[in-house]
Structure 1
Amino acid sequence: MFLCLHFNQEKFTMTMRAALGLWVLSAVICVGRGHHQPDHHLGHGNDETGQDTVADGSASSISLVNEANQEFSFRLYRQLAAHADSQGKNIFFSPASVSAALAALSVGAQGETHRQLFSGLGFNSSLLTQTDVNQVFQTILQRANNTSQEDASEGTSVFVDNRFKPKPEFLQTLKQSYLADGFNVDFTKAAESADTINKYVEEKTNGKIDKLVESLDPNTVMYLISYIYYKGKWETPFDPELTEQDDFNVDENTKVSVDMMNMEDDFYTYHDRDLNTTVLQLPFKSSYSMLLMLPDVMATLENGISPNHVTKWLKALVTPRRHDVYIPKFSIKTSYNLNDVLTEMGMTDMFGERANLRGISEEQRLAVSDVVHKATLDVDEAGAEASAATGIGITLGSAWFPDPVPVLKFNRPFMVLITERNTDKILFLGKIVNPTI
């Protein structure tokens, strides 16, 4: 997945316009953190600071930011689900990536623009300062990268044009708190710069996103990339020999043929009576899990789901029960322009003349022009790969049968969530309407 924030630069004394682009990439499926060196490494001051020091944000700050991030996940989901462009389509995105990107942007925001970003992200400005938020994100990112999972990484990178000079303190905060790698590029060589960025992104996403940038405006002055990568293997894999063709009910009038995986085993399940939803937990061989949510009525689940529900489910999923489970294999990609969505969430000024991003540079008037988010998700017998911002949801009816073994069949639209069990961090969230598109 990637989130793109694109800026416009306008000098008072000149008619020349340039673009400052902030691209945020979240790829739950990427492997490793390659060391591709585009052009010259960007100076950030003392290289010994930041990376090797874990900012142990206070427990209260960590709790406040985590709660805000969880709430933001479902508010953003509901905005995406309600958008006209999302009707009848899969939804999948990385709220962890989007919130990290916007938090990094808030480092350079001031005044009302900063207030809107904080409010939109759910941060209580009377209890949290920008420094608090930065320290918590540093802790979150370093914890994610210090785990034993080889196929998981998170971080950011910033590409700055030789002609553009952001404030050193802005770059230093990105490096220290958001683990940003920095590179100098010559954006007047548009094709070459685009190729440099694309190669970097391809490495970070294990080839899942191989052409993030189709073309570049030669006046671009900055790109900030935020990525989250995860590839997980099921704790108990499905047997490919049991996968068969079956129908998936997109709606009352539409059926599509899918490869339906099957396993009879002990599963962690929960039936939420408030939301009329059956929840299935599929743990990976790590601290991460996928939750599949099969509602009786999708709107009831979409409109009602909250962080409290996820917390309740995870606490209740302690006693495995025998089930005959059917889940479709699928591979999907999504792409969003989040300008309207974020505007509807109160983050309005950053897109226009009222933008105050003087924390990035005093010399220019900067404004965000585009926020783009892309993602992929692949689910098969071995496990799941995801690169943020794509919706995958498959749900099929209530699946509780008293005898002999309950059948839980995801053959109609359902929601999907990938979470870190120890922290309840939501890496990915979405809905599978049609696993074949």
Structure 2
Amino acid sequence: MDKPRTTMKSLLSVCLLTVGLCAISHGHHINGHDNTSVAATKIYTNTAQFGLNMLHQISSASPGKNVFFSPLIISSALSVLSMGARSTTHTQILEGLTFNLTEIQEKEIHDGFHNLFSVLTNPTNKVKLDIGQALFVKDDQKPLQTFLDAVHASYEADVLSAKFQEPTEAEKQINEYVEKKTHGKIPQLVKGLDRDTAIVIVNYIFFKGNWEKPFDPEMTREGDFKVDDKTTVKVPMMQRMGWFHYYFDRELFCTVVRMQYNGTATSFFILPDAGKINELEKAISLDVLSKWAERVHRGTAHVHLPKFNISASHDLKGPLTNLGIADMFSDRADLTGITGQALKVSKVTHKAVLTIDERGTEAAAATAVEAIPMSLPPTIMFNEPFLMLIYDQVTNSTLFMGKIVNPTES
């Protein structure tokens, strides 16, 4: 009698990691760039929409917790996986990523990611950005050459052999690879690998930027941060009085501050009115993001922003299943385009580290000095839970999204 399919499926793990090391500021959307292909400009709205969908899902699954992730990296990892997916599994992955194949060809999706990564990792960019992929394959498995060729052509992924039958050894190999690629910021990504694991897909992004206009460390003072109605914590609060780009959104009861890094990366910090964080999360959309980008204006302000270092780990199986990407986790999975054999995804994990300080992640040469009007500017104090996102202005790529609930939780 044939064995049940559950015993015939080898396991495939997708490990996504993000390191964001930040200090942040003003910028605006730029539609198109000499180095950005038509395909790249066709996928950035999908990455942003997928990011918003994930923000809703992860936040709902982790109430009261910090949320921080990279929509770009999660999207690209699943796109790599889609190259080996077939039938309904294939359709679910691409539709879950918000792609409509009647409007964009699948080749354009992969070409788009390839071009985005080329532009984002250009060494002339003043922001340090490393992006990469790797496939760790069980030493007795043989991926199809067509899959390897496709993945290498579009994503330039490393393909490495691993002894998953010895989980401790395989974990050590993967974690050492990840630690090196993230410059020591993530020393342990995987833990508890299953002996039946056949392939682990690792995607990583390391982001390192300096503020265009840094904060003065001597002005940082301890302040209160109200986590919720019952909890208040002490945090080092950076502050700077000067020129910022900001917008008071009276419709959504929030304040938006845009800050710029040296280079092409920019950030939005969104502070809801007291008790309005849940309403804001439900209301945020691509149209809202576009509105904020258009309406932020240059003015003087006294901005207070917590200095913090957080690490957020997310199990994405539930969120992805809720977005319709379900079959790949079940015995209905069709990933036969990877090895020609039956595979299913055992887990999708994402780990992100975010550091925000006065100068960025590298010391700035000098503190900016600005002339400001004599009139008293408004004070914008991020002393309650807030949302944030970081994107690249040239490609319009959403690099990171997050919700900071408690900046003291590491």
What is the TM-score of this pair, normalised by structure 2? 0.87
Look up the equivalent residue of 1:254 and give its one-letter code. T
Question: Which residue in 1 is equivalent to 2:270?
Answer: 293
Distance 2:65 2:6 in 1: 44
Does residue 102 (structure 1) correspond to residue 78 (structure 2)? The answer is yes
Distance 2:6 2:15 in 1: 26
Flag the structure with more relative contact order, 1 or 2, with Cα contacts below 8 A and sequence separation at least 6. 2
Question: Which residue in 1 is equivalent to 2:111?
Answer: 135
Query: Unaligned stretches of 5+ in structure 2?
Result: 23-34, 363-373
Correspondence list, 1:376-415, <5 A = 376-383=353-360, 404-415=376-387
Give CA-to-partner distance per residue, 1:334-365, whole Å, 9 cap, x none.
Answer: 11111111111111111111111111122x21
Cα gap change, 1:236 to 1:12, in 2 (>3 Å): same
Show structure 1 runs of 4+ deviating over 6 A. Answer: 10-14
Aligned residues: 382
Cα gap change, 1:12 to 1:257, in 2 (>3 Å): closer
Contact 1:152–1:228, Cα closer than 8 Å, also in 2: yes
Q: Among 281, 294, 309, which residue is 2:288 paired with?
A: 309
Question: Which residue in 2 is equivalent to 1:162?
Answer: 139
Distance 2:41 2:59 in 1: 27
Give CA-to-partner distance per residue, 1:56-98, whole Å, 9 cap, x none.
Answer: 9962x43332111111110110111112xx1111111111111
Q: CA deviation at 1:25?
A: 2.4
Question: Which residue in 2 is equivalent to 1:25?
Answer: 17
Cα gap change, 1:16 to 1:305, in 2 (>3 Å): closer
Correspondence list, 1:80-159, <5 A = 80-83=58-61, 86-149=62-125, 151-159=128-136
Question: Which residue in 2 is equivalent to 1:185?
Answer: 162
Distance 1:294 1:247 in 2: 15
Cα gap change, 1:185 to 1:251, in 2 (>3 Å): closer
Distance 1:403 1:255 in 2: 32
Q: CA deviation at 1:142?
A: 1.2
Cα gap change, 1:82 to 1:16, in 2 (>3 Å): closer
Contact 1:190–1:217, Cα closer than 8 Å, also in 2: yes
Distance 1:331 1:306 in 2: 27
Contact 1:29–1:151, Cα closer than 8 Å, also in 2: no
Contact 2:141–2:339, Cα closer than 8 Å, also in 1: no
Q: CA deviation at 1:184?
A: 2.2
Distance 1:418 1:18 in 2: 37
Does residue 338 (structure 1) correspond to residue 316 (structure 2)? The answer is yes
Distance 1:27 1:11 in 2: 43
Contact 2:116–2:395, Cα closer than 8 Å, also in 1: no
Question: Which residue in 1 is equivalent to 2:402?
Answer: 430
Contact 1:247–1:255, Cα closer than 8 Å, also in 2: yes
Contact 2:307–2:356, Cα closer than 8 Å, also in 1: yes
Question: Which residue in 2 is equivalent to 1:42?
Answer: none
Distance 1:267 1:288 in 2: 16
Contact 1:11–1:17, Cα closer than 8 Å, also in 2: no
Question: Which residue in 1 is equivalent to 2:180?
Answer: 203
Distance 1:300 1:13 in 2: 44
Question: Which residue in 2 is equivalent to 1:72?
Answer: 50
Give CA-to-partner distance per residue, 1:248-282, whole Å, 9 cap, x none.
Answer: 11123321111111111111111223322211112
Q: CA deviation at 1:166?
A: 1.1
Distance 1:20 1:255 in 2: 42
Distance 1:13 1:254 in 2: 49
Question: Which residue in 2 is equivalent to 1:325?
Answer: 303
Question: Which residue in 1 is equivalent to 2:330?
Answer: 352
Look up the equivalent residue of 2:204 and give its one-letter code. Y
Question: Which residue in 2 is equivalent to 1:416?
Answer: 388
Query: Unaligned stretches of 5+ in structure 1?
Result: 1-9, 31-55, 386-401
Distance 2:170 2:4 in 1: 27
Distance 2:181 2:43 in 1: 26
Distance 1:294 1:403 in 2: 24
Give the secondary structure class of the aligned counterpart of 1:77.
helix
RMSD: 2.3
Cα gap change, 1:19 to 1:113, in 2 (>3 Å): closer
Give the secondary structure class of the aligned counterpart of 1:201.
helix
Give CA-to-partner distance per residue, 1:17-37, whole Å, 9 cap, x none.
Answer: 64332322232349xxxxxxx
Give CA-to-partner distance per residue, 1:4-50, whole Å, 9 cap, x none.
Answer: xxxxxx998996764332322232349xxxxxxxxxxxxxxxxxxxx
Look up the equivalent residue of 2:282 and give its one-letter code. N
What is the TM-score of this pair, normalised by structure 1? 0.82
Q: CA deviation at 1:179?
A: 2.0
Give CA-to-partner distance per residue, 1:367-386, whole Å, 9 cap, x none.
Answer: 1121111111111111269x
Look up the equivalent residue of 1:430 and give its one-letter code. G
Contact 1:108–1:357, Cα closer than 8 Å, also in 2: yes
**Identity of paired residues, percent?**
38
Contact 1:64–1:123, Cα closer than 8 Å, also in 2: no
Cα gap change, 1:266 to 1:70, in 2 (>3 Å): same
Distance 1:265 1:230 in 2: 26
Distance 2:66 2:51 in 1: 16
